[in-house]
Amino acid sequence: MTHQPASTPAEPTPTSTHTASRTPTPWGRVAAIAGVIAIVVALLAAAFAWPGAKAKPAGLSIAVTGDPELISQFAQAAEQSMPPGIEITPVQDRAAAIARVQARDSIGAIVLAQPAPELLTASASGQVPSAMMSQLTAQLRAMLASQAFAAVREGIAAAPPQGDPAGIVGMIPASLPEVTVTDLAPYSGGDPNGIGLTTAGIPLTIGALLAGIALALTVRGRCRRISSVLGFGAVGGLLAGLVLGPWLEVFPGPFGAVWLALSLSLAATAGLFAGLHSVLGKPGIGLAALVTLFAAMPWAAFAVPYQFLPAGVGEIGQWLIPGATSTLSRSISYFPDAATAHLWWILAAWAAAAFALILLGRAGARNAHSFVASDAGNAPR
């Protein structure tokens, strides 16, 4: 008796495989994909537009020094025209006012002294604070004009009926006192309007995001992942520091400090993607992108002081990588007296957490593999 060989399933021919791969996507799936993408784009637009649209100053200070009577008059005038949330902080003298502005404790200062007042500004604080200080300049000029007019009116009222008109005319000042404006922190010559400083945080964050995704998907092994993240941070920070520092003068501060800040920022962001991918797999990349695009970047306050953002998200943003980087790089470049230790620690903590996730993820994968292998070895054969 002849035994027939057992039949085996027919393997798909190249033609059938090619035909199956070109099967049109079902219309229901097309509609679902398009709808999800549209919702994500709308939410992303809202995440970026909401902080700017609802921005209001809160917790900002303007230092004032000089004659107490003039300070009182100025405070009354400022309360009527300045937006709420701006605090008038009296200081001892001009030196104290300068110190507060240079330490970023105040966005500007006013020295109400004779013969003319002085306005101390810091353009590098941002366009919105600069605009507010320009508004104060106009208020000071209006206050001086009002005082001069009041003095002339009092003199005319006190003059005798047959007084000499020439004497009354002599009381009219030839010109009003001019307000002196001193910019304590002007933008650099390479970035005179601060546009580069305002926009630099976006490409740096997006670049680190893309680098983190690439490293997460292409580099295997915990030591290799950590090394790749460190290498990207060091080299990327060096190149970005050279471009934004000596070349474009966006960050004109000490090059070593700028390099270190940018390297920490790039390594922390890329490491976040690599670390969450090590722990969660591909969903980890989605989680890192969600945090970066919907919270970290919109709340970073690239263009305005973080105190302007609503609902306290500005303070939260300062604890995230883009916000800490933006404030730190601006302070290094233009406000060397500002307190920055906490910002360094924030970036270092994010980088350390990313490396810990990479180590934890690789160790977890190894332990899970060992458990599966051991369980398979004990299974009945």
CA 135, 138, 140, 146 torsion-angle sign: negative
Cβ pair 248, 199 in contact under 8 A: no
Query: pLDDT per residue over 215-273, tens digit each?
Result: 999 999 999 999 999 999 999 999 999 999 999 999 999 999 999 999 999 999 999 99
Strand partners, 32: none
Tokens of 17: 């495989």
Query: pLDDT per residue over 316-375, tens digit each?
Result: 999 999 999 999 999 999 999 999 999 999 999 999 999 999 999 854 444 434 433 444
Query: How many residues does the structure list for the chain?
Result: 381
For residue 303, name the pLDDT band (cuts at 50, 70, 90): confident
CA distance 333 to 251: 5
Res 136: pLDDT: 78
pTM for this structure?
0.81
CA distance 127 to 198: 9
346-353 own/partner pairs: CB under 8 Å, 24+ apart = 346/318, 346/319, 346/321, 347/261, 347/264, 347/265, 347/268, 347/321, 348/264, 350/268, 350/269, 350/271, 350/272, 350/321, 351/233, 351/264, 351/267, 351/268, 351/271, 353/272, 353/275
Residue (of 182, 192, 17, 169) closest to 101 by Cα position: 182
Residue (of 166, 171, 178, 191) closest to 243 by Cα position: 191
Domain annotation for the chain: domains and CATH numbers: 60-183 (3.40.50), 195-365 (no CATH)
Strands 60-66, 108-112: pairing is parallel
CA distances from 34 to 38, 42, 45, 367 (A): 6, 12, 17, 40
Ramachandran category for residue 281: left, alpha or beta (phi over 0 → left; psi -120 to 50 → alpha): left
Cα 230 from chain centroid (whole Å): 23
Return the biggest CA–CA distance within the chain. Answer: 150
Res 115: pLDDT: 67
CA distance 262 to 66: 41
Res 34: pLDDT: 92
Specify the amino acid at residue 20.
Answer: A
